[in-house]
Every structure is written in C-alpha cells, then in structure tokens.
Chains A and B, each alone.
Chain A
Amino acid sequence: MLPSVCSRLSRVSWFCQGQRTLSLFSSSGSSNWSKVVSDAEKIVGYPTSFMSLRCLLSDELSNVAMHVRKLVGTQHPLLNTARGFVYDSKNNLQMRGLVVLLLSKAAGPSHTASDLLAQDMVSGIYPSQRNLAEITELIHTAFLVHRGIVDLKEWTVSDGPLKDMQFGNKMAVLGGDFLLANACTGLAQLDNTKVVELISSAIGDLVQGVYYENFNNIEENGLISGVNVAQWEEQIFLSHGALLAKSCQAAMELAGHDKESQRLAYKYGKHLSLGHKLNSDLQPFVKSDMGEPVSFSMSAAPVVFHRQIVGQERWHQQLQQAKTLGNQMDYSKLLAAVKSEKGVSSVVDLCCYHSNKALEAIQAFPSSEARSALENIASAITKF
C-alpha cells in the first residue's frame, strides 16, 4: 500500500481535492471546521490546489517520489512528510493559500494601480494573487520537507542502516530545494520587488523560527530553564505566523492596496496563525477521549504557560513524579499535572485573544462573502 501512496506523492494535492479529510481541528470541532473551510473554498473559485501542476509533474519531483519509494520500511522522516501529502495531515491543509485568496477577494479590486485590470480577475482575485497563494504553499511545503532532515551522527545502528538515512537526507535536501527554487521563480514572475522582499524575509523568519524550535528549545527532559512566554510567542510567530502574515500583506501590495490595508491583512494573518498554533497545541489537553496514549511536546503552549505559572522548582518535581521506574515519561501523569493548574485556561484565553484580534483586523474590509469566510475561520480556531 505504501509504495503506491508514495508514487502518488507528486500528484496528490491535485487529485485528492474531493476526498481530503480535514483533521486539523480534530475531535468535536472538526465538523464545524470542515464546513467553514469547504464553504470558503467555494468562494475563491477553482479548487485550492496551489502547488502548481508544472512543479508537481516535473521530472525532478517524480524523481524524488520514485526515490522516496525506496525509503519505505526505513525510519526516515521524509516518509512521514510524504505520507502527509496524501492523507491530509494537520500540516498540509493548504490553509495559508486559502486565506491569501480569501483576503485578496475580500479586499477587492484596486482603485489606484492603473496597470491592473479588473477583467483579469477570476472570482474577484488577480492572477498574481493566485500565484502568490501558490508560492506561499510551496515555501511552507519546502520547510516541511527540510524539517525532516536527520542528523546522521545521532543515528545509531540499532535504528536502521545509516545508508538509508543518508539517502533520505539527500532526497529531502533536493526536494525542499526544488520547491524553494520554484517559489523563487514564481516570486520573480510577480514583477514586484516589494513582494519579493517581503516573502524572502518571511523565509528568513521561518528558518529562524524552526532553528529556535529545534535547537534552542526545552530539551526532551525539560530541564533547561528560562522559558519565557513572551519570547516563546515571538519565536512561534517566526515559525508559524510570519509566512502567512507577510503573504497576506503581499496580496494587498500586489493589488495596489494602500499601507493601511496591508497592515490589516498582515495583522489578520499573524493573529490567525498564532491562534491556529495555540489551538493545535491545546488538542491533547482538551480532548476527553481516554484510551489513546497521550503525548505532547514540552514546548506546547500549555506546558510553557504551566511552567511559568508553577515555577521551575515545582515543574522539576512534577517531571520527576511523572517518570516511571524505567525513567520513561508518563505523559498522562504529566498531562494531569498541567491540567490541574491554570496553564490550559490561560492558553485558551490567549487563543480567544488572537481570534478576536484577527476578527478585528478583518472588520475594516467591506462586507462580503469572502470576509464572512475569513470571520468564520477566525472564529473556528477557538472551537475545541
């Protein structure tokens, strides 16, 4: 089954439109979320597959897809990333592209730029804005692929043959670079150096955010001190918000909208992605279904807040208490400890704050179905 899945890697986002299941906000919120998104997709015209066919059907990506097949049975993370392109995972909803398109439509045609023609618009969106939405998705996907690179020195023989990992890394580097190169070409064709600058700086932000997330973070044992909610939020913005915020701003720039519209679009993108991230961090803490083994990252928002609330010392105690005899972490125990304090509710509050901020930003745009869709999306991030 897997080989067939991987061979479809390059065509998937195009062909799976009809059947993708939206599990981003799983559990109770999901039906609401799916409806919000599928309604929104209808508004922007054709199906939201942003990764251009040209890129997906290229020899290079088929090459990668073919090679990825060889990785089946190994533990290289690229396999999981590839799998995620097929079965919608929480990371590959192409939500960023959709939001860029909705904002473009909500802002409407330009009144100032003379070289932009209203008749070029399709479903109220300029072609350049559609290309931008695609570029945003390409960059996001490139980083998903690059995130899956393995440090070979940390690989032990018991984990599997090193050769497989070297090969997987090679594919991940090339695949990610290829997507980035396509994004660069697409950017250049927009003929707007301000947009090139904005999106390039967003790539830089992403790198810094990912770097922080991976390496400056609380290590697995959670013993490194000095977590600070403000600093944490800044980094979360870099890794999860900057790309969408700057893409939203760029969509306004492409249509010749003024600085104020650009600022509001940026604000919407920023708060939506922060709220979105908080929502997914909250999932293990608000889900009620027992039975499944729980697991969460030590840098998940509720944990970060919890640590700030209880202080380092208590946190270390709780960590010790949650450890089993084999020195394994018992996550359900730790989960209970976090839930017993105000960390979770603080994060819920923060999530609502970002949702409200996003709603506030969008109010300045004229009322339209695209605006309603953006409102619905911003509201949906507070449903758990």
Chain B
Amino acid sequence: MAGPWWRQCRRWSTNRTTVSLFETLWYADGRSSSSLGRACWSSGPLNEGQPPSTTQIHLKTLTYNSSLIRQKSRFLYPTRQPCCCRTTHSDAKLKDPFTLAQKDMTSLYDDIKKELFVSTDELKFLCDYYFDGKGKAIRPMIVVLMARALNIHSNGSGGQRAVAMITEMIHTASLVHDDVIDGSDKRRGKRTINEVWGEKKAILTGDFILSAASVILARIGNNAVVKVFSQVIDDLVRGEFMQLGSKENENERFKHYLEKTFKKTASLIANSCKAVSILVNSDPDIHEIAYQYGKNVGIAFQLVDDVLDFTSGANQLGKPTAADLKLGLATGPVLFACQQFPELHGMIMRRFSSKGDVDRAWKFVIQSDGVEQTSFLAKRYCQEAIRQVSMLRPSPERDALIRLTEMVLSRDK
C-alpha cells in the first residue's frame, strides 16, 4: 500500500519539502526490503557541503496531507448498519484505559507464568523474573482494549487474551536478549538477568520465553495469526541488526532510524492489534485500522522513549540517562539536533566513541530543539493513531485507546 521507499527518498532529496519528510515518516512501516534500501543509496548523495538548516523541516507548519487519508476515506462506523452484535464491554463507563483494561489485565502475569513450564527451578525463576507485574504492560493493555473495541464489530472470540499474553512474552524475551547485546545492568529498576546470572542463562531464558509464546500461539489454531507473529519476530531481529549500522547520509539516517523504530517497537504492537482483529473479523479494512493504530502508537511510544533518554531523571526510567548515546545510538533528538549543529555528524558516525563525545552530544541536543521536534513528531504519530481508531464504532474501549495516546505522549517514565 505504501509507495516505494525510493520514491519518497527521491522526493525528499530533490524538493526538500516538509511534506516529503512526513510522507517518508508515515511510510516507515518497515516493509521495504533491503533491495529497496539499496535503491535509496543509489539516488545519489544529496546536498553535501550545504549544511541543512532546521527550517528544512517545518514541523509546525506542516500541512498534513498523507495519502492515507485519501485511502481510508471510507468511514467504517457511520456507514455500517447498527446490528445486534453482542457487546462484551457494556458495563464499562469509565474511559480511563487502565481501569477499563484492568479486569483483563489482573491475572495476565499469573497466566503467563502458568504457561512457562520448566523442570529446572532456577530456569523457572529466570523465566518469571520480568513477569512480576512491575512493567508498564502497555502492550497487552493496547491489545486488550483493541480486542474489546473490535468485538463490537463482531462476536468476539477466544484467543484474543492469548494474543495479549504472547505480546508481552515476545516483548520480554526480546528485552532479555537486548540487555545482553547492550550489556545493560538495569531494567525496570531491577538488575538484569545477564548482570546477576550471566549471559548464557539470559540467552536461554529469552529463548525459552519465545518458545512458550510460540506454543500458545500455535494453540490458538489460526494460521494467519501465526504468520502475523512470525513477521514480528523477523522484524525484531532485523531491527536489532539495523541498530548495528549507521548511515553516512543525513536523510538516509532518519529513514533508517524510523524503520528501525518500526521494526524494534511498533511492529509488535501493530501486528498484535492486527492479530486480535483477525481473530474476530474477516474485514481486511478493520485489520488495517487495528494495524495502523498499533503502528502509529508504537512509533510514538518509542519516540517518547528516546526523548525521555534525554529528559528523564536517572531513576525514573529504571535505567541511566543518555543510555542510547553511551551505546553509540543516535536517536530522534540527536538526528534533529544534528541539523542545527553539524558538529554532531562526526560523532554520530563514530558512534560517540571518542572521549567526551557523549557529553558534547548531550549538550548539543539540550541546546537544540531536537527534543521538541521529536516530541512533536511523536504527537503527529499519535494524531494519526487517533484518526485511524476513530474509524471504529464508538465504544468506551475505543475512547480509551484514544486517551491512551495522550498517556503515551505525557508519560515521564
């Protein structure tokens, strides 16, 4: 559905208009294959030697005119005949996402722990380690709310709860492996598994959680849902690979960053939303709404995360600040800041590896409006998420999904 990447890139490189940036960003759905990525490279070096100015990207004056709007002009709920679908949400009057989802969420962790059958006590302990109910559990919450919002369109189905569990399990398995790759010693205020028990055990723990999630997935018995999640796992790994490399060219870099963000964070949320939709509905338009909501919220979520890495106090996030810089990663705020302070370019390319790089980069980012621009971008993604989910029929859960985007934007940890 999205136009080919290279066309976006070309437009970006030739016009440097504001819209093209956003079109590029909106299309960052990670579906571009590496060959298309190469096509981008061949579109030629752009504007070398001409330092880009911040005015290139007039985020605030952007006239938002994505083709997605055109594509989705058919509003689903007003045109639909109100039918006598069973609604499973009816007792819910409050619109607070947490309260609404609470009933489905309370036993989620216990159910996950029950699914982790392990004969070795220690391995069992490690598998349960992060299912302690202390995480934000934002992913399963989105899944649960989406499931209920969609069930108005049809009859509801078993398996949706399993999807919420699988979502959290895949997320956790990937965290455990990421912590080994990044050498992190803290996560959610706890010492990481690799820090306490060593890397070998951490990897096996992640592998086991993934296998248990796959078993639950298989038991749902729906091949389409299995395929959706296999895409997630593929995206997660490819996203991790993308994080190893950096791009020389500035525009390439932004595209690379957003594609990585989609794969590492948004794909799981988008595809989980799609999965609960597939389970209750045969209408591909509704699957697409669910997917687009998840994708846009997911990208916004990660953008906010990248902002918090610069703005949050050391203890709030459960990990040290500027963690990304220390890992050599240039996230949104740095990429935007680089437009104001070209000095950052060299540091990005050497992955902040020289002495003092992290401190200097940090100062540049704080002096720039990189944080504001990244936050603004996150806001735009949330607006698109809202636009998408508004096409569903009204329900308290749908409204909770809308409110949830505000929470994604306003969270401070």
Contacts and interface: CB of A to CB of B under 8 A. Distances in A.
Interface stretch (B49-57, B207-215, B387-395): B207-215
A273 interface: no
A181 B234 contact: yes
Contacts of A197: 214-215, 218-219
Contacts of B238: 60, 181
A181 B204 contact: no
B366 interface: no
- The secondary-structure label for the interface of chain B is helix
Contact of A187 (B117, B230, B240): B230
A207 B207 contact: yes
A208 B200 contact: no
B204 A207 contact: yes
B135 to A, nearest CB: 21
A200 B237 contact: no
Given A188-B227, A204-B208, A208-B120, A181 B214 contact: no
A180 B34 CA distance: 20
A233 interface: no
B223 A200 contact: no
B285 interface: no
Contact of B204 (A60, A188, A191, A210): A210
Given A196-B217, A204-B211, A185 B234 contact: yes
Nearest to B178: A173
B349 interface: no
A204 B120 CA distance: 12
A337 to B, nearest CB: 30
A146 B204 contact: yes
Contact of B34 (A59, A149, A184, A189): A59
B233 interface: yes
B214 A200 contact: yes
Given A197-B218, A200-B211, A207-B211, A151 B198 contact: yes
B218 A194 contact: yes
Contacts of A208: 118-120, 123, 208
Interface residues of B, number: 45
Interface string B222-234: 1100110111011
A187 to B, nearest CB: 7
B230 A188 contact: yes
B211 A184 contact: no
Interface string A138-174: 0000010010011111100000000000100110011
A15 B210 CA distance: 32
Contacts of B217: 196, 200
A216 B244 CA distance: 35
B244 A193 contact: no
A31 interface: no
A60 B241 contact: yes
A59 B34 CA distance: 8
Interface string A40-63: 000000000000000000011001
Contacts of B177: 173, 177
Contacts of A384: none
A293 B160 CA distance: 59
A-side interface size class: 35 or more
A188 B223 contact: yes
Contact of B215 (A149, A173, A201): A201
B218 A193 contact: yes
A102 B140 CA distance: 43
A176 B220 CA distance: 26
A259 B27 CA distance: 48
Contacts of B214: 184, 187, 196-197, 200, 203
B203 interface: yes
Contacts of B241: 59-60, 63, 174, 178
Interface string A71-91: 000000000000000000000
B120 A169 contact: no
Contacts of A153: 198
A355 B303 CA distance: 58
B95 interface: no
Contacts of A188: 223, 226-227, 229-230
A151 B199 contact: yes
A204 B207 CA distance: 8
A146 B241 CA distance: 16
B346 to A, nearest CB: 22
Nearest to A187: B230
A182 to B, nearest CB: 8
Interface string A101-123: 00000000000000000000000
Contacts of B220: 193
A207 B214 CA distance: 14
B122 interface: yes
B131 to A, nearest CB: 16
A331 interface: no
Nearest to B223: A191
A211 B212 contact: no
A212 interface: yes
Contacts of A166: 183
B218 A154 contact: no
Interface in B110-126: 117-120, 122-123
Contacts of A60: 237-238, 241
Nearest to B222: A193
A126 to B, nearest CB: 17
A153 B221 CA distance: 43
Contacts of B229: 184, 188
Contacts of A173: 177, 180-181, 203
Interface in A277-314: none
Contact of B237 (A151, A154, A174, A216): A174
B146 to A, nearest CB: 22
B236 interface: yes
B256 to A, nearest CB: 13
A320 interface: no
Contacts of B219: 193, 197
Contacts of A28: none
A242 B238 CA distance: 28
B201 interface: yes
A184 B234 contact: yes
Contact of A215 (B201, B210, B223): B201
A178 B211 contact: no
B120 A216 contact: yes
Interface in B369-386: none
Given A152-B198, A181-B237, 8 more contacts: A63-B245, A177-B236, A188-B227, A193-B219, A193-B223, A200-B215, A204-B211, A204-B212
User: 3 tightest A-B contacts by CB?
Assistant: A200-B214, A197-B218, A188-B230
